[in-house]
Amino acid sequence: MRYLPLNTNDRNAMLDVVGVRSIDDLFLDVPKSARIDGLIDLPTHQTEAQVDAAMTALAGKNRAAGAGPFFIGGGAYRHHIPSSVDHLIQRSEFLTAYTPYQPEISQGTLQVLFEFQTQVAMLTGMEVANASMYDGSTACGEAVLMACRAKRRKKAYIASGVHPHYSATTKNVCKFLDITLDIAPSAPSRDSAVLENLDKDTAAIVVQSPNVFGEIVDLTPYAEAAHAVGALLIAVFTEPVAFGAIKSPGEMGADIVVGEGQSIGVGLNYGGPYVGLFACRQKLVRQMPGRVCGETIDAEGNRGYVLTLSTREQHIRREKATSNICTNSGLCTVAFSIHMSLLGEAGLRILAQINHEKACQLADMLSAIDGVELVTDTFFNEFTLRLPKPAHEVVEAMVGNNVLGGLAASRLMKGQDDLLIVAATETNCDEDMNAFVSALTEALS
């Protein structure tokens, strides 16, 4: 009875209280076309040992990123994480800590979040940062909502090159709030046509750099155009290591900066959990979602940490909340902060330089192959190739040679079948690159 605590009499009693005749009646609002008639094709029961064996067999079909040459990016990147990061975040005071509802007994957690905010603000070139979001895509959606609140307008633009997952997430949250969202088609070019459509009803324009194709984008003209009509510039990123080499969004005029922090301290983890970074200008801080930790002194003059702003619905009335995101990626923020502390500014710059050099080396090697064209001329550690064959077919062919050779752009967007997005980081050695060249040459022959 450990796993099946309810018998038939228990279920019938519950149904009587609810006022329905059967469990099926609870699903009458679900269209019949979306319901399964009968049981799904799974064993009706198995022992615990059998379930464990079956799940182990399924897990064995996965391939770890470190099991061979790996060049996949597209919003999540493989970097070396010092063993000290995992060692420290597994300490019980970090691993088991949760949201500090009572700040006075959560000084350690609050201090870590305060340090994290400071690092994110410095990294993005902004004045204030919050104590994290779920991930980069939901942070992007929250940024558009924040801009619409701050400007009291109901229209926003997403420029070409923003990661399609970020655009889709933002579209999903905007459609329920009557916000008009114009999303430019993604293509590997610096299409600035969106600037011509800005008007006095525009709350914000969203631009990503480096963008989904790896291109480094000058945000300055977008900031100037947005500010000219009283709108805000929202800068998006998926690779924070890039800010060790290129100008921060804040230096180029961004008002809100959001993105994914996974690259620093957080492993790929088969897609999550990750950590969303969110920063803005000081004047917008009261519209920022999530919460902000601050430093103060107590009655005896001792330094202490507090929740300075808590605008999420679990802390205040729902109708007054800026967001219904109910938590932050606390453990991932700790990992990010530890890794960033270990790197320091000098270490981050060195890491960024190595990443860029690796990408340039690989781009030169791959673009020398007959029929392969490099379509991104300015990039950080990710670039896009045009192939003479559909990219998804080429990727599958390279898997046969134990090489994960990038991300077919067609997995993210329509009409880009011949584009292959490739990422190179400090984890890629010369042997990996040579294997990539051989596998790609064979796949194209």
Which pairing describes strands 291-297 and 276-280: parallel, antiparallel, or unpaired? unpaired
pLDDT tens-digit series, residues 265-311: 999 998 889 999 999 999 999 999 988 999 999 889 999 998 888 76
Conformational region of residue 161, where left means phi above 0, alpha means psi within -120 to 50, and beta covers everything else: left
Averaged pLDDT score across all residues of the chain: 92
Most confident of 11-15, 30-34, 250-254: 250-254
* Prediction pTM value: 0.89
- Host H or E run for residue 293: strand 291-297
pLDDT higher than 60, residue 401: yes
Task: Specify whether the CB–CB gap between 172 and 311 falls below 8 A.
Answer: no
Model pLDDT, residue 73: 97
In the chain, the percentage of residues whose pLDDT exceeds 90 is 76
Model pLDDT, residue 147: 98
How many Å apart are CA 55 and CA 9, to the nearest integer?
A: 33
Model pLDDT, residue 12: 92
pLDDT tens-digit series, residues 306-359: 888 876 656 666 777 777 776 668 899 999 999 999 999 999 999 999 999 999
- Which domains does the chain show, CATH number per domain? 68-79+344-444 (3.90.1150.10), 84-340 (3.40.640.10)
pLDDT tens-digit series, residues 117-171: 999 999 999 999 999 999 999 999 999 999 999 999 999 999 999 999 999 999 9
What is the side-by-side order of every strand in the sheet holding 373-374? Answer: 373-374, 382-386, 419-423, 407-408
Residue labelled with tokens 């969203």: 206
Amino acid at 297: I
Model pLDDT, residue 139: 96
19-23, 101-105, 153-157, 437-441: least confidently modelled range? 101-105
